[in-house]
Amino acid sequence: MASRIGTHFSVTIFGQSHSAGIGCVVEGIPAGKRIDLDELQAFLARRAPSGMPWSTSRKESDVPEFLGGLVDGVTCGAPLAAVIRNADARSSDYEALRRTPRPGHADYVAEVKFGGAQDVAGGGHFSGRLTAPLCIAGGIAKQLLAEQGVFVGAHLARAACVADAAWPLQGIGPEDVSAPGRKPFPVIDDACGAAMQDAIAAARAQGDSVGGVVECAAVGLPVGIGEPLFDGLENAVARAVFGIPAVKGVEFGRGFAAADMHGSQHNDPYRMDAGAPAFESNNAGGILGGISTGEPLIVRAAFKPTSSIFIEQHSVDLKDGRDVDLALEGRHDPCVAVRAVPVVEAACAVAVYDLMLEARLDR
């Protein structure tokens, strides 16, 4: 089971939802980098279960224990290893899923692929719980990028068919992209956020769930990060973001809307500005030919509704070979996209910093 991403800044994630702990090993961090552990903990707290109406009631502090790679908060050149101890697992909620797979979840395909040896409790290694160690790596990458003048932030762009205000594709800065993450509910327009929360609560009251879209931006990127064809900036970011459970779509800039535009509308014209070429627009989302343009990198991730719901659904009994109906127990987010906002930031930061190291801009 491969759970590693990155070349120069590589991240390996280990553990299961209900195992003793979950964690990551990060290789490639240059030595001598001071990591603000308080800032990292604040970032992890944004993803952690909060007991709010839009999150699971599972209680996890998500405080990482660093086993290596840091000496007095400074990277020493060795691989960085961190673990988060699981403290509030209720594995008994999942016993029936070994024979009756949840619609929309990985239970059935995992049973076939791993021959019944997989950990079913809490979804095992397929659980969104594994995004916590991704946020350790991504939170560190965000700090290292900020040293280079690159800032990554995200907001909940849509949930339950309610849209937030949108960032313009040009002219946004560090304050714009960081502001939603300082709020309890990570949106630009708080009135839109309140409407989202009402819609999520209504679905939860019915035992159902809803999907959403997270919009992420990286500002301050220099021109020239990424490679053409298969090693492009879009490729790297998309691969990292698709590693987040429940992501079903990724787009950059105008994304799928570009299919309904003319070239004269979608192209980003050039003009000279202070003696250098500049873009009049940023429909490309900061990337051309797989390479950064210097404009804001804008990426959106579409999240499906949480598959674990409390409405009775059709399933099968894998041992008896018969049709059954499944009524779930357990604790589940009614909208995973809310807590996924910092996770998308983390995935984007990991991919971007890996390519920054490749370009040797942080050496």
**125 is an annotated ligand-binding site residue:** yes
**92 is an annotated ligand-binding site residue:** no
**289 is an annotated ligand-binding site residue:** yes
**209 is an annotated ligand-binding site residue:** no
**230 is an annotated ligand-binding site residue:** no
**56 is an annotated ligand-binding site residue:** no
CB 21 within 8 A of CB 124: no
**304 is an annotated ligand-binding site residue:** yes
**114 is an annotated ligand-binding site residue:** no
**306 is an annotated ligand-binding site residue:** yes
Binding residues for FMN: 125-127, 289, 304-308, 331
Task: Extract the annotated binding site for NADP(+).
Answer: 47
Please give the annotated binding residues, written as ranges: 47, 125-127, 289, 304-308, 331
